[in-house]
Amino acid sequence: TSGGIEELEKRLRGRGTENEDKIQKRLKTSARELAFLKAQPEFFDHVLVNDDLAKAEEELKDVFVKWFPNVEKYVKASL
């Protein structure tokens, strides 16, 4: 999440769908993943931040078309 671990915790608690153990597990996992990303940013070809669904969807489509030019006709058909 673009707001960091604090924002993730706020979102998870706000949903009210997971117990405390699961929330803590997800927070620890996310902290490890974000630390890895910070330490090795070149590992990933692209990092998609899903803080705005419409923006993330468009960005994902653009990345797919860049990586797989043949999917452009399918992406355009879904618009």
Residues 65 and 75 sit within 8 Å (Cβ to Cβ):
yes
Buried b (16+ CB within 10 A) or exposed e, 26-36: eeeebeeeeee
Residue 56 near residue 49 (C-beta atoms within 8 A): yes
Q: What is the model's pLDDT at position 19?
A: 96
For 16-71, what is each residue's pLDDT tens digit? 999 999 999 999 999 999 999 999 999 999 999 888 899 999 999 999 999 999 98
Please report the pLDDT score of residue 72 as a whole number: 85
pLDDT for the residue numbered 24: 97
Position 71 scores a pLDDT of 87
What's the pLDDT at 79? 57
Enter the pTM of the model: 0.70
